[in-house]
Structure 1
Amino acid sequence: MKRNFILALFIFSVGSLAIACQRTERFLDRIEPPVKVINESQSRRDSGEVPVLNQEVPLREKVPISKEVLKTWLPETVGDYKRTQLISGHREDSGIVSVLADYQHQDSQELKVKVEILDGAGENGSILLKAAQERLKLDIEENKEGMETRVYLLDGLRVRESENKEQQFAEIEFVDQNRYLFQIKGFGISLSQLWEFSSKASFNQP
């Protein structure tokens, strides 16, 4: 009788152990092997599914460049043109950094160029820059009252150029580095001469 009891107890213990092993195996099946987890994580990172921590700061949240630095972008002489006036701080009340410069040809008082450079960083600067980018977004060719205007892509840069040949007035507008707005106006000169001025000043290389 005692032997039968021991035998039954042994059989029950073996059965319980087998069931426990099966449960453990099923639980382990649900746990991903470390190598597989690492490989899948690396794959998601490579595919761009993992959020990038160093995302570009929106322009409206950036601190504008100092006007002292921006002034250095306007050389004293550009070819035969000499800088006669330099103004900065005229948009400070709006929190916008901008500089203005007047240039005059050394041999002719009639030939003048006016340049404004505006930093689109900051709340209000980014609003003005966005408006400029909207103006430059679509290809345009028009002629209104003698003013010929063209908006197009030039060497990867969206450009607006205008010219009134009768009044000898020309203007160029573009945004550099998706941040800095350049507006260059020429008086008594042609559009091609204004582009030449811009090139010599290293504002843009068409």
Structure 2
Amino acid sequence: MDTSLEEDFLDRETKSHHPLVEKVPLTGDELQSSVPYSVGFFRRVSLAHGLHEEMGISSVRSKFQHTKDAQKSLSIEIMDGAGELGALLIEKSEEKLKEDFEDHSLPEKTVINEHQTFRVLEKERTDLHRTYLEFIHSKRFLIKVHTQNLSKEELIDFIHLFRLEKEVIDTSSQ
């Protein structure tokens, strides 16, 4: 278990004030079944769950590759914010995403701002054609996306087409 997360959690006066603490995390199988096989021109090439189980956080990571251009790929990680440590993860992410931020230090550009209804952290390495996004979906799931050789437009299209299965979103609102 990640001791810094544990310490942050244990140092709190009250056990929790975040509503996700009371929710039961989805299982790895439930999260895994929510990841679509294809999204637009991208097909899933790998899928794994249990990556953060030792921290008490349910998660799934999937890699997608473009069907016509094998140089274009991305990985998406979904972490469930339910339960004690999951709620802490979401709370820390909400704090990080709260303020607008911009840093154009070469070779990486970092921006935190709002895109539609989401607060998004975006890191871009134009020299390596890589982009990283981080945002919170449905006030419960921390989503991390790493891309290789995708334009910003292609990445935005993928994110808009990627849908967590309705059953997962319904379960998260209970």
> How many angstroms apart in 2 are the aligned matches of 1:191 and 1:164?
12
Spell out the pairing of 1:172-191 with structure 2 (5 A cutoff): 172-191=133-152
Looking at secondary structure, tell me which structure has more helix per residue.
1
TM-score (norm 2): 0.78
Matched, 1:88 2:49: yes
The offset of 1:144, in angstroms, is 2.0
The one of 99, 113, 129 equivalent to 2:90 is: 129
Q: In the alignment, which residue of structure 1 is the partner of 2:19?
A: 58
CA RMSD of aligned residues (A): 1.8
Alpha carbons 1:115, 1:184 under 8 Å: kept: yes
Please name the residue that 2:13 is paired with. none
Higher strand share: 2
Distance in 2 (CA, whole Å) between partners of 1:73 and 1:151 is 27
- Answering whether residue 108 of structure 2 is matched by residue 147 of structure 1, we say yes
Distance change >3 Å, CA 117–CA 84, structure 1 → 2: same
State the match for 1:7 in structure 2. Answer: none
Q: Which portions of structure 1, spanning 4 or more consecutive aligned residues, are displaced by more than 6 angstroms?
A: none
Note the 1:42-57 alignment, pairs <5 A.
Answer: none
Matches within 5 A, 1:27-42: none
Q: Which runs of 5+ in 1 are unaligned?
A: 1-55
Match of 2:30 in 1: 69
Counterparts of 1:156 and 1:113, CA distance in 2: 23
Deviation (angstroms), 1:57: 7.5
Answer whether contact 1:163 1:190 (CA < 8 A) is retained.
no
Q: What is the aligned partner in structure 2 of residue 192 from structure 1? A: 153
Deviation by residue 1:158-180 (Cα, 9 ceiling, x = unmatched) = 11122222210112211112211
Instruction: Report if the CA contact (8 A) 1:80-1:105 is conserved.
Output: yes
In structure 1, what residue type is equivalent to 2:150? Answer: I
Shift of 1:118: 0.5
Q: Is the 8 A contact 2:18 2:91 kept in 1?
A: no
- TM norm structure 1: 0.66
Q: Which of 76, 81, 84 is the equivalent residue of 1:115? A: 76
Give the number of the structure whose alpha-carbon radius of gyration is greater. 1
Code of the aligned partner of 1:108: D
The answer (yes or no) to whether the contact 2:80–2:140 under 8 Å persists in 1 is yes
Q: What's the counterpart of residue 79 of structure 1?
A: 40
Secondary structure at the aligned position of 1:63 is classed as coil
Structure 2 gaps of 5+ residues are 1-16, 165-174
In structure 1, the partner of 2:128 is: 167
Identity %: 31
Number of equivalences: 148
